[in-house]
């Protein structure tokens, strides 16, 4: 993304490695690994983003590049070398056609996986499946890209190779640093009508994101996976920012296990490469119930607190509507007010330890039961009591009440949200450990100490 993309040649360097599926089906041999290892080492030394074109069938049985006495072929450093790059330089993988075994293992270590609609991705191809005693399977039946998008393996689906390449360029642009002003953006007054007056009505959060950020800058990742949470990259005032938002269109905005994993990993990605984070909160909390627990919710949801508490990048929270329970705390790095640069609420916001309706049923069970037991008028009496308790609860949970007890920094006009984000970015902009890349360089590339912010970006 140099030249017309707005970045200098120094900030537009990248390493590109491509398996050639027309040569031995893109499989991996001894010298193939040696050649790739050389490029991985250069990417690490020069801190170059890496683009991996991963089409191929994995390890090559009967490799004739080496003496047959070299038996196990396990003493190759490629996979360790690729793992070392995680969290040090941005990694983008593109799958087009068949991508199996070793090729898929390298692809899976990439920060972002882009796949064409006809791609198939799997840790084993048909030959290995058959060799494992699992029968004959067509290559096209193993990990089709649409399926891998739904289960979270694929971040971005592309119609063809040309679109995949364009998406890779666009994604890497976020890690090249800020774009020069001025930035164009939508009329912010539209945000005043973005949240319905009916507090139980779902609404679309993506138009809110697209209104807040610079025009045409929004790039959503893993859209088909963990659909209760929306995550992606954008720019505000030309500066890269990561966005995590609850979507009330799925599970009412409750955070399920898949959503928790999706958000935690995205936080790691942004933190690793010095990209500030914006949380847009509208959640009744974590998803509960036996079905949720069967999906290992305790471990997966707790990742949000473990990762959130270790963030080193600035982050901001805007409460659009509901901020309840542990889920709301997770949407603020683990604590509503404190580590974030700001925690602001729209007038439509409400907050509390758990959803109001549930809190009333739990906390006033005896009173409601007593009202309901009155002969002839019990049902009406219970309903009136419930409505009265809900009215009182809404007053206490409302944005201005929460602000009075310092549990949010301010209640703001939604139209001022973008200005708050810009001011937050300005306030949080402190000189990093930079080399001579200058103030406009991507901090991860010019960090003097050469160290990672995080050990790696978790593949999952």
> What percentage of the chain has pLDDT greater than the value 70?
92
> What percentage of the chain has pLDDT greater than the value 90?
66
pLDDT attached to residue 263: 98
* Average pLDDT over all residues of the chain: 90
Whether the bond between 125 and the residue before it is cis, its omega within 30 degrees of 0, is no
Window from 26-35, 59-68, 308-317, 396-405 with minimum mean pLDDT:
59-68
What is the SS3 assignment for 396? Answer: helix
Residues 403-420: what's their mean pLDDT?
A: 96
pLDDT attached to residue 431: 47
Strand extents, DSSP E, 308-417: 315-324, 342-345, 350-352, 410-411
Residues 280-309: what's their mean pLDDT?
A: 96
Higher per-residue pLDDT: 432 or 434: 432
Residue 413: CB partners within 8 Å, gap ≥ 6? 192, 347
| pLDDT tens-place string over residues 90-136 | 999 999 999 998 999 999 999 999 999 999 999 998 888 888 888 99
DSSP letters, 230-267, are EEEEEEETTEEEEEEEE-TTTGGG-B-HHHHHHHHHHH
Query: What is the C-alpha separation between 95 and 98, in angstroms, rounded?
Result: 7
pLDDT attached to residue 60: 73
Phi and psi based region of residue 264 (left: phi greater than 0; alpha: psi -120 to 50; beta: remaining): alpha
**Cβ–Cβ < 8 Å for 107, 95:** yes
User: Is the sign of the CA dihedral 70, 75, 81, 82 positive or negative?
Assistant: positive
**pLDDT of residue 154 exceeding 90:** yes
| pLDDT tens-place string over residues 243-263 | 999 999 999 999 999 999 999
Higher per-residue pLDDT: 158 or 338: 158
| pLDDT tens-place string over residues 39-48 | 999 999 999 9
Window from 143-152, 298-307, 322-331, 421-430 with minimum mean pLDDT:
421-430
Query: What is the C-alpha separation between 109 and 87, in angstroms, rounded?
Result: 10
| pLDDT tens-place string over residues 16-26 | 999 988 888 78
Window from 65-74, 81-90, 138-147, 153-162 with minimum mean pLDDT:
65-74
pLDDT attached to residue 448: 63
Residue among 104, 105, 87 at smallest CA distance from 43: 87
> What residues are paired with 114 via a beta bridge?
94, 156
Query: What is the C-alpha separation between 113 and 133, in angstroms, rounded?
Result: 30
Query: What is the C-alpha separation between 308 and 316, in angstroms, rounded?
Result: 12
Exposure of 336 in the CB half-sphere (CA atoms within 13 A): 23
pLDDT attached to residue 146: 96
pLDDT attached to residue 64: 65
**pLDDT of residue 144 exceeding 70:** yes
**DSSP 8-state class, residue 23:** T
The dihedral formed by the CA atoms of 226, 228, 231 and 236, expressed in degrees to the nearest 10: 170
Q: Using 50, 70 and 90 to split pLDDT, how confident is the model at 449?
A: low
> What residues are paired with 283 via a beta bridge?
323
Query: What is the C-alpha separation between 337 and 308, in angstroms, rounded?
Result: 13
Q: Using 50, 70 and 90 to split pLDDT, how confident is the model at 439?
A: very low
- Enumerate long-range contacts of 62-69, CB under 8 Å, 24 or more apart: 63/29, 63/30, 65/29, 65/30, 65/31, 65/32, 66/29, 66/30
Residues 391-410: what's their mean pLDDT?
A: 90
């Amino acid at each position: 993304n140099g030249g017309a993309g707005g970045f200098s040649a120094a900030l537009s360097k990248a390493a590109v490695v491509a398996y050639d599926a027309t040569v031995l089906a893109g499989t991996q041999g001894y010298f193939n690994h040696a050649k790739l290892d050389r490029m991985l080492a250069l990417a690490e030394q020069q801190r170059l983003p890496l683009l991996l074109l991963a089409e191929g069938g994995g390890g090559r049985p009967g490799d004739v590049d080496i003496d047959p006495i070299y038996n196990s072929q396990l003493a190759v450093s490629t996979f360790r070398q690729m793992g070392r790059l995680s969290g040090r330089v941005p990694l983008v993988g593109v799958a087009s056609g068949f991508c199996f075994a070793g090729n898929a293992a390298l692809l899976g270590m990439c920060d972002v996986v882009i796949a064409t609609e006809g791609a198939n991705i799997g840790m084993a191809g048909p030959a290995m499946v058959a060799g494992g005693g699992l029968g004959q399977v067509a290559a096209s039946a193993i990990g089709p890209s649409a399926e891998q998008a739904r289960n979270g393996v694929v971040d971005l689906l592309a119609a063809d190779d040309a679109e995949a390449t364009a998406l890779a360029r666009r994604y890497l642009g976020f890690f090249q640093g800020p774009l020069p002003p001025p930035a164009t953006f939508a009329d912010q007054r539209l945000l005043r009508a973005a949240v319905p007056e009916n507090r139980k009505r779902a609404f679309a959060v993506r138009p809110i994101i697209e209104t807040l950020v610079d025009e045409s800058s929004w790039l959503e990742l893993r859209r088909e996976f963990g659909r209760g949470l929306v995550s992606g990259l954008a720019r505000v005032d030309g500066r890269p920012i990561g966005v995590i938002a609850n979507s009330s269109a799925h599970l009412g905005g409750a955070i399920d296990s898949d959503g928790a994993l999706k958000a935690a990993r995205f936080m790691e990605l942004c933190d690793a490469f010095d990209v500030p984070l914006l949380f847009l909160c509208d959640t009744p909390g974590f998803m509960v119930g036996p079905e949720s627990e069967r999906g290992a919710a305790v471990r997966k949801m707790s990742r949000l607190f473990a990762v959130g508490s270790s963030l080193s990048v600035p982050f901001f929270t805007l409460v659009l509507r509901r901020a309840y329970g542990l889920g709301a705390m997770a949407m603020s790095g683990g604590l509503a007010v404190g580590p974030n640069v700001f925690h602001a609420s729209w007038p439509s916001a409400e907050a509390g330890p758990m959803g109001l309706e549930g809190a009333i049923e739990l906390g006033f069970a005896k009173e409601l039961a007593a009202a309901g037991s009155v002969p002839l008028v019990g049902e009406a009496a219970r309903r009136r009591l419930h409505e009265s308790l809900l009215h009182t609860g809404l007053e206490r949970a409302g944005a201005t009440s929460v602000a009075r007890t310092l549990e949010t920094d301010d209640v703001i006009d939604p139209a001022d949200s973008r200005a708050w984000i810009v001011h937050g970015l300005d306030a949080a902009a402190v000189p990093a450990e930079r080399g001579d890349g200058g103030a406009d360089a991507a901090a991860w590339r010019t960090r003097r100490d050469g160290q990672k912010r995080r050990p790696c970006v978790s593949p999952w």
